[in-house]
Each structure stands twice: as structure tokens, then as C-alpha cells.
């Protein structure tokens, strides 16, 4: 039995105890062998409580947050095509910047960079991603897909779908995706994706997919308070960063894998099923340009499709979606995107 299997059993039972006997029975090992595996996990930093009559229990605050712990929490069936190597840092300026450096040095497809905090976390269009330590996930994945640069946005959309899968599994809530890649819970933003590309005319060298997830944060800075949330706030209970990171890597492996083998159609469908504001009138802003229409979905390239007053489709490559409902967190013209 791998310690991974034991960890899974303890996680399923947490915060309850599992008896040594029950574990032995499930994994077909002696209790002494189970004890050895418990010691192994403890040596990695997991806090496992042992009580004579009740057995073992994984403490909720227990999971250490670093590459090895995340790798161990992943599903056994995955190939670790994404996250096969995880570079973990207590602090970075930006995981995307570090990932780009590693990619230029030749780091293989699927390599990940994770930081506990970022001092210069970046959003799209030069914006800032607020990245405090100890509570959230800041992750960048290096991908070297066989895609043309024009198809690269589909990677971001596949990532948004994977994020939604993992957020739903962790919280039990139903996330929505605000085009192109914000994850909303109760219409507030819990996660965002920043994709950066290095390419020639017809060939992608690498894509850096940067993901920021508010996992355990409960207080937000004044300027984002009205529209920011976290998995913990939405779920109403603690969510383990380590387990969430593992589950997100598993989901990315599935969704990005599906994109590269089956094409964009299944991602487009999954994305559309979670689209925020579908059928509603929205305003999309890019710089000084604004377009208004009913949000219909995304086309076969991943562009946003609105419908104008005459029923004609409008395709949009980039921009920020705002609601036209006054009570929506994404309403007013000044609402930060």
C-alpha cells in the first residue's frame, strides 16, 4: 500500500477517526504496516492524530503545502502529465514570471510553479492580482501544446472549465464562468486565469497558464471587497489548499488532455453550460470601446458571441464583461474587472 492510499482513506473520513482495523481490512496490510505508513506521512508534515480506541484522524489544518504534498494528494489514476514536476516557492514576484524563465530554460510540458505568496501577482492587461500568504493558491503551468497561436485561447477556456470542475468538487457550490476565465461563486470572483504566450507566426513555443484562486481568504481589500469571494466563504467551511491544488491539476490534466485529443467542441459545451449571464444583456468593454448585447456563448474559436438588437451576432476577441443589472457586483462602469 502506498502512503497515498492511506492518505485518501484518512481524508475521506476527516474530521472523523478511522480505526486501524478498518484501514488494515481495506488495504490488506497488518496494523504494524499501517502504522509505518502513518509515520511516513507524519514525516512529510501531515498531522495525524492516533487514539488507542478510535484509530487515526487527519487534522483539518494538517496538510502541508508544498510540491510533494500536492503530488501525493493527486488521484492515483492520473499520469501527472500536468504537475509531474512542481517547483514550490514560499515567495515569488509572480509564478507566471518564474514559469516563463523556466520554460525558456527548457522546462518540459506540464511543469508547474506554485508560490505561497506573490509580491507582484499579475492580472490581465497589466492589472494586479492580490496574493497574500498562507491562504490561497497561485499556480502557473507550462504547456507546450501542438496548437497554432490562434488556437491558444482555447487553452485558457479549457483551464477555466477545469477550474470550475475543481471548485465545484471542493465547495459543493455551482460555479459560473465569466468570459473568458473568471470563476464566480454567487456572482463574485473566486479565481482568475492569466495566459501568456510565446510563439512564432504559426507555432506555439509555450503557453504559461497562471491561475489564482482565493481558497481560504476571508477578508478582502476595500477595492475588491464588493466582488471578491473565496472557496471557504462560499462553502462555509475550510477547504484544504493542498487537496484543492491536487484536484485542480487532475482536472487540468483531464480537460487540457481532452482539448488536445478531441478538439475544442467538448470544452466549448462544458464552458457554455457554466457561462454566467447567458441570455442576459451585458456590456463588454475593451479600452474605450464598449459593445452591448445579449450574451449567447462562445464560438468554435472561443470568442465571445453577443447578439445585437437586430439579432445579429457580434464576436468579441478580448474585453471585460459587465452586467447591466444594477444590483450585480459587475454592474457599474467603475466596477473593477
Q: Which of 20, 55, 110, 121 binds ligand BT5 (CB under 6 A)?
A: 121
- Binding to ligand BT5 by CB under 6 A, coded x per residue (else -) over 136-175, reads --xxx-----------------------------------
Question: Angle at the Cα of 222 (from 221 to 227), degrees rounded to 5?
Answer: 85
How many chain residues touch ligand BT5 (CB under 6 A)? 29
Instruction: Identify each DSSP E strand in the chain by its residue range.
Output: 48-51, 55-58, 86-92, 112-118, 137-143, 176-178, 182-185, 188-199, 204-213, 281-286, 289-298, 304-307, 313-316, 320-323
- Interaction with ligand BT5 in 260-319: which residues (CB under 6 A)? none
Q: Considering only residues 110, 153, 212, 319, which one is a binding residue for ligand BT5 as defined by CB under 6 A?
A: 212
The answer to the question of residue 224 lying near ligand BT5 (CB under 6 A) is yes
Of 87, 119, 91, 90, which Cα lies nearest the Cα of 208? 87
Q: For residues 40 and 234, what is the distance between their CA atoms, to the nearest angstrom?
A: 34
Q: Is 179 in the site for ligand BT5 (CB under 6 A)?
A: no
Query: Between residues 175 and 192, which has the closer beta carbon with respect to ligand BT5?
Result: 192
Q: Does 214 bind ligand BT5 (CB under 6 A)?
A: yes
Site for ligand BT5 in 89-118 (CB under 6 A): 94-96, 118
DSSP 25-91: HHHT--HHHHHHHHHHHHHTT--EEEETTTEEEE-TT----SHHHHHHTS-TT---SSSSSEEEEEE
Select the residue interacting with ligand BT5 from 48, 130, 173, 291 (CB under 6 A): 130
Does 336 interact with ligand BT5 (rule: CB under 6 A)? yes
> Residue 145: is the preceding peptide bond cis (ω within 30°)?
no
Q: Which three cell numbers stand for residue 47?
A: 498531522
Contact with ligand BT5 (CB under 6 A): which of 18, 177, 211, 298?
A: 211
What single-letter DSSP state applies at residue 318? S
Q: How far is the CB of 132 from ligand BT5 (least distance, A)?
A: 8
Binding window for ligand BT5 (CB under 6 A); candidates: 36-44, 68-76, 189-197, 302-310:
189-197
CA distances from 34 to 8, 62, 70, 75 (A): 13, 19, 21, 20
Q: Which stretch binds ligand BT5 (CB under 6 A): 35-43, 76-84, 122-130, 199-207?
A: 122-130
Which residue lies nearer to ligand BT5 by CB, 38 or 284?
284
* C-alpha cell, 176: 459560473
Instruction: Check residue 210 for interaction with ligand BT5 (CB under 6 A).
Output: yes
Nearest Cα to Cα of residue 321 among 283, 279, 271, 274: 283
Among the listed ranges 132-140, 154-162, 167-175, 310-318, the one in contact with ligand BT5 (CB under 6 A) is 132-140
Nearer to ligand BT5, 41 or 177 (CB): 177
Nearest residue (CB) to ligand BT5, 94 versus 240: 94
Pairing of strands 48-51, 55-58: antiparallel
- Under the binding rule (CB under 6 A), the answer on residue 209 touching ligand BT5 is no
Judge contact between 278 and 320, C-beta under 8 A.
Answer: no
Task: Check residue 228 for interaction with ligand BT5 (CB under 6 A).
Answer: yes
In a 13 Å sphere around the CA of 252, the CA atoms on its Cβ side amount to 30
Peptide bond into 203 cis (omega under 30): no
Judged by CB under 6 A, which of 74, 122, 232, 268 binds ligand BT5? 122
Interface ranges with ligand BT5 (CB under 6 A): 94-96, 118, 121-125, 127-130, 138-140, 182, 189, 192-194, 210-212, 214, 224, 228, 336-337
Amino acid at each position: 500500500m502506498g502512503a497515498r492510499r492511506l492518505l485518501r482513506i484518512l481524508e475521506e473520513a476527516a474530521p472523523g477517526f478511522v480505526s486501524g482495523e478498518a484501514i488494515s481490512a481495506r488495504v490488506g496490510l497488518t496494523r504494524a504496516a499501517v502504522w509505518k505508513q502513518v509515520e511516513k506521512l507524519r514525516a512529510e508534515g501531515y498531522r495525524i492524530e492516533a487514539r488507542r480506541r478510535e484509530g487515526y484522524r487527519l487534522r483539518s489544518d494538517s496538510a502541508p503545502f508544498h510540491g510533494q504534498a500536492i503530488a501525493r494528494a493527486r488521484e492515483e489514476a492520473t499520469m501527472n502529465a500536468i504537475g509531474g514536476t512542481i517547483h514550490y516557492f514560499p515567495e515569488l514576484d509572480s509564478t507566471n514570471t518564474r514559469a516563463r524563465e523556466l520554460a525558456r530554460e527548457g522546462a518540459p510540458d506540464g511543469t508547474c510553479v506554485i508560490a505561497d505568496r506573490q509580491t507582484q501577482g499579475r492580472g490581465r492587461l497589466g492589472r494586479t492580482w492580490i496574493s497574500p500568504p498562507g491562504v490561497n493558491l497561485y499556480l502557473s503551468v507550462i504547456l507546450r501544446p501542438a496548437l497554432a497561436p490562434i488556437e491558444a485561447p482555447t487553452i485558457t477556456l479549457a483551464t477555466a472549465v477545469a477550474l470550475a470542475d475543481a471548485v465545484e468538487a471542493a465547495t459543493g457550490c455551482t460555479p459560473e464562468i465569466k468570459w473568458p476565465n473568471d470563476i464566480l461563486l454567487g456572482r463574485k470572483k473566486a479565481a482568475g486565469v492569466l495566459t501568456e504566450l510565446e510563439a512564432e507566426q504559426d507555432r506555439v513555443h509555450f503557453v504559461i497558464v497562471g491561475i489564482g484562486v482565493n481558497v481560504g481568504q476571508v477578508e478582502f481589500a476595500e477595492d475588491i471587497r464588493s466582488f471578491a469571494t473565496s472557496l471557504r466563504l462560499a462553502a462555509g467551511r475550510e477547504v484544504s489548499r493542498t487537496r484543492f491544488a491536487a484536484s485542480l491539476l487532475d482536472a487540468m490534466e483531464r480537460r487540457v488532455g481532452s482539448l488536445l485529443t478531441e478538439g475544442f467542441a467538448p470544452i466549448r459545451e462544458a464552458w457554455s453550460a457554466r457561462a454566467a449571464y447567458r441570455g442576459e444583456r451585458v456590456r463588454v468593454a475593451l479600452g474605450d470601446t464598449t459593445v452591448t448585447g445579449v450574451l449567447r456563448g462562445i464560438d468554435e474559436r472561443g470568442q465571445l458571441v453577443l447578439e445585437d438588437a437586430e439579432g445579429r451576432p457580434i464576436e468579441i476577441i478580448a474585453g471585460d464583461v459587465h452586467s447591466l443589472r444594477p444590483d450585480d457586483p459587475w454592474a457599474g462602469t467603475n466596477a473593477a474587472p
